[in-house]
Chains A and B, each alone.
Chain A
Amino acid sequence: MTQLAYFNLPDVGEGLTEAEIVSWKVAVGDQVSVNQIIVEIETAKSLVELPCPFAGVVAELLAAEGQTVEVGKPIIACRVVDGATGAVQTTSIPVIDPAVAAAASSAHEAVAEAAAAAAERSSTEQASKPFPAKNPTLVGYGVNDAAGASRRRHVPAAALSASTAAAAALPVVANPATGLLNTAALVAEESVIAKPPVRKLARDLGVDLTKVTATGTAGEVTREDVLGHSSQASVFRNLSTPAAPSEREERIPVKGVRKATAAAMVQSAFTAPHVSIFVDVDATRTMEYVKRLKSSTDFAGVKVTPLLIMAKAMMWAVRRNPTVNSTWTDEEIIVHNYVNFGIAAATPRGLIVPNIKDADKMSMFELAKAIEQLALTAREGKTQIPEMSNGTITLTNIGVFGVDTGTPILNPGEVGIVALGSIRPKPWVVNNEIVVRQITTIGATFDHRVVDGDVASRFVQDVASVIEEPALLLD
Chain B
Amino acid sequence: MVQLLSPEGEYSVAPQYAEYAKLVQELSEADFLKFYRDMARIRRFDFEANALQRQGQLGLWIPAIGQEAAQIGSGYAVGHNDHIFPSYREHGVAITHGIDLMSILKMLRGVNHGGWNPDETRFHLYAIVLGTQTLHAAGYAMGVKFDGKTGTGNLADDQAVITYVGDGATAEGEVSEAMLFAANHQAPLVFFVQNNQWAISSPTHSQTRVPLFQRGAGFGVPGIRVDGNDVLACYAVTKKHMDEARGGNGPFLIEALTYRIGAHTSSDDPTKYRSSEEVEYWKARDPLTRLEKFLRRQGIGQDFFDEVAQAGEQLSEEIRSATFALQNPPAQNMFKYVYSEQHPLIEEQLAWLEAYESSFGDQSHLTVADPSQIPNIGSVH
Contact = CB atoms under 8 A, between A and B. Distances in A.
A468 interface: no
B328 A127 contact: yes
B57 interface: yes
Nearest to B328: A130
A46 B272 contact: yes
B271 A47 contact: yes
A341 interface: no
A51 B44 contact: no
Contacts of B266: 12-13
B55 A151 contact: no
Interface size class of B (residues with CB under 8 A): 35 or more
A49 interface: yes
B269 A141 contact: no
A120 B324 contact: yes
A160 B53 CA distance: 43
Given A34-B320, A45-B269, A47-B271, A8 B312 contact: no
Nearest to B65: A96
B57 A154 contact: no
Given A94-B44, A96-B65, A10 B365 contact: no
B313 interface: yes
A145 to B, nearest CB: 14
Given A50-B55, A119-B321, A175-B342, A97 B283 contact: yes
A96 B313 contact: no
A148 to B, nearest CB: 14
Contacts of B268: 45-46
B286 interface: yes
A178 interface: yes
Given A14-B59, A96-B66, A50 B54 contact: yes
Interface in A60-116: 85, 87-88, 90-98, 115-116
Interface in B84-115: 109-110
Contact of B56 (A35, A96, A138): A138
Interface in A147-190: 151-155, 160, 163, 173, 175, 178, 180
Interface string B158-170: 0000000000000
A51 B320 contact: no
A401 interface: no
Contacts of A13: 266-267
Interface centre among B51, B344, B365 (most CB of A within 10 A): B51
Main secondary structure of the interface of A (DSSP, over half): loop
A123 B321 CA distance: 11
Contact of B60 (A14, A97, A130): A14
A216 interface: no
Contacts of A119: 321, 324-325
Contacts of A153: 359-360
Given A14-B267, A153-B359, A140 B57 contact: yes
Contacts of A115: 321
Contact of A154 (B51, B309, B316, B361): B361
B190 interface: no
B179 interface: no
A12 B54 contact: yes
Interface centre among B59, B269, B369 (most CB of A within 10 A): B59
B374 to A, nearest CB: 13
Contacts of A93: 40, 43-44, 288, 305, 308-309, 312
Interface in A19-59: 34-35, 45-51, 53
A139 B59 CA distance: 9
Interface string B30-61: 00000000001001100110110111111110
B119 interface: no
Given A93-B40, A94-B43, A95-B289, A139 B365 contact: no
Interface of A: 7-14, 34-35, 45-51, 53, 85, 87-88, 90-98, 115-116, 119-120, 123, 127, 129-132, 138-141, 151-155, 160, 163, 173, 175, 178, 180
Given A141-B110, A154-B359, 17 more contacts: A10-B54, A10-B55, A12-B267, A14-B59, A14-B60, A14-B267, A45-B269, A85-B320, A87-B314, A92-B309, A96-B65, A96-B66, A115-B321, A119-B321, A127-B328, A130-B365, A151-B360
